[in-house]
Amino acid sequence: MFLKSLEIYGFKSFADKANLEFSDGITSLLGPNGCGKSNIVDAIKWVLGEQSTKTLRAGKMEDVIFNGTDTRKPLQVAEVSLTISNEAGALPLPDAEIEIKRRIFRSGESEYYINRNRVLLKNIRELFFDTGVGKSAYSILEQGKIDQILSSRPEDRRYIFEEAAGISRFKQQSIDAERKLEKTDENILQVETILKEVR
């Protein structure tokens, strides 16, 4: 699986549509301080479902929308699309190429898409389970991240091994199943109470 292209519009400093094509091998982003290199990494994290404003270096989520300059008005929407090659079948979809997209409006409303179909954030997360990509995974290593990993709590560090071992998906399924069981127990209790009342 590798990143094929990234399209950014209205996200942080990208007031105009920018399209980045990635080829095989290593891609380097070069530019003067403050030109938007880290904003590109933020855009990748954001489209993968990042919800932490701290991680995205923003005050609130709407702050990721281009907020204008002396010569340009702020925009009302930000959009990032990431196209990923799935020829090796690393992602659990039959398509050879997968496009994920996230959009946010000034109202704070967010939209997520997989191959142009509207989905939930949960679906984006599930798509990347056990691939090492996605929120809190190890595919994006920023400055200081290795130190952070080494000094983090053992439970937090275990997440990385679980992701690499391919068990994150099952862990999440087990959490979901436990929630359903709790809900079912609550429903049974309610039914029993009603039955007692009508008897």
Query: 102: closest CA among 199, 3, 10, 197?
Result: 10
The phi-psi region of residue 36 (left if phi > 0; otherwise alpha if psi is between -120 and 50; otherwise beta) is left
Q: Which is nearer to ligand ATP, 6 or 127 (CB)?
A: 6
Can residue 12 be called a binding residue for ligand ATP (CB under 6 A)? yes
Smallest distance, ligand ATP to C-beta of residue 16, A? 12
Q: Point out which span in 34-42, 48-56, 112-120, 149-157 binds ligand ATP (CB under 6 A).
A: 34-42
Q: Which is nearer to ligand ATP, 46 or 113 (CB)?
A: 46
Whichever of 78 and 133 has its CB closer to ligand ATP, that residue is 78
In the block, tokens 């039914």 appear at: 191
**Which span sits near ligand ATP by CB under 6 A: 28-36, 103-111, 115-123, 145-153?**
28-36
123 binds ligand ATP (CB under 6 A): no
* By the rule CB under 6 A, 55 interacts with ligand ATP: no
User: How far out from the chain centre does Cα 57 lie?
Assistant: 15
Residue 143's Cβ-count burial label (10 Å; 0-12, 13-18, 19+) is exposed
Q: Is 154 in the site for ligand ATP (CB under 6 A)?
A: no
Cβ pair 2, 22 in contact under 8 A: yes
Asked if 139 is part of the footprint of ligand ATP (rule: CB under 6 A), the reply reads no
- At residue 39's C-alpha, the angle toward residues 48 and 11, to 5°, is 75
63 touches ligand ATP (CB under 6 A): yes
The size of the interface with ligand ATP (CB under 6 A), counted in residues, is 14
Among residues 42 and 130, whose Cβ is nearest to ligand ATP? Answer: 42
Q: Which residues bind ligand ATP (CB under 6 A)?
A: 12-13, 31, 33-39, 63, 65-67
